[in-house]
């Protein structure tokens, strides 16, 4: 799966090598918990950009004498509306609606499979800095908001969950 992220990043860079308004970012907090999150933002106007992201997590969890192998993959899309009158996208304050879909599976050593899927949508407010001269430099994106989640699990017992939850985000990357 790590190879898939690398290939996607290389394709995104290859298609936009001559462009001036791109940002590729990763979530450092997710990495601390074993979740790889990579996103690509493309400026489409002076005050707007489109961002897509992928995430992957995989781990073996031990519960007593049983080992459970888990893996999850997710995708997200958002459109950012930048508000600053002095700065153009991808710098400054923004608001962004988003949608997200995630799927996970777990298999116990006894062979029992459990599946999980979640769909969420919501809105974020945030600020993105680009440090450096001109249109390139290191980027820091901080955001917060709310999301509505609809999740379900299947396997031995079916479970579903729906409701509103807060959301916080931190991303570090490079803009060019």
Q: Is the CATH number of domain 2-175 2.40.160?
A: yes
Buried b (16+ CB within 10 A) or exposed e, 19-45: eebbbbbbbeebeeeebbbbbbbbbee
Residue 56 DSSP SS3: strand
Task: Say if residue 6's pLDDT is above 90.
Answer: no
Note the pTM of the prediction, 2 decimals: 0.81
Which pLDDT does position 42 carry in this prediction? 97
Q: What is the pLDDT of residue 4?
A: 54
- Lowest-confidence range among 43-52, 61-70, 96-105? 61-70
Q: Which residues contact 158 (CB under 8 A, 6 or more apart)?
A: 152
């Amino acid at each position: 799966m790590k190879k898939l992220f690398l290939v996607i990043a290389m394709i995104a860079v290859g298609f936009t090598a001559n462009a001036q308004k791109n940002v590729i970012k990763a979530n450092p907090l997710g990495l601390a918990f074993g979740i790889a999150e990579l996103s690509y933002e493309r400026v489409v106007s002076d005050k707007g950009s489109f961002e897509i992201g992928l995430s992957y997590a995989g781990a073996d969890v031990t519960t007593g004498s049983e080992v459970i192998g888990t893996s999850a993959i997710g995708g997200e899309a958002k459109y950012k509306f930048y508000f600053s009158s002095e700065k153009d996208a991808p710098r400054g304050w923004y608001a962004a609606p988003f949608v997200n879909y995630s799927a996970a599976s777990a298999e116990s050593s006894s062979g029992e499979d459990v599946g999980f899927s979640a769909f969420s949508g919501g809105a974020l407010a945030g600020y993105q800095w680009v440090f450096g001269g001109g249109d390139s430099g290191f980027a820091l994106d901080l955001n917060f908001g709310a999301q509505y989640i609809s999740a379900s699990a299947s396997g031995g017992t079916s479970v579903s969950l729906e409701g509103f939850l807060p959301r916080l985000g931190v991303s570090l990357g490079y803009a060019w």
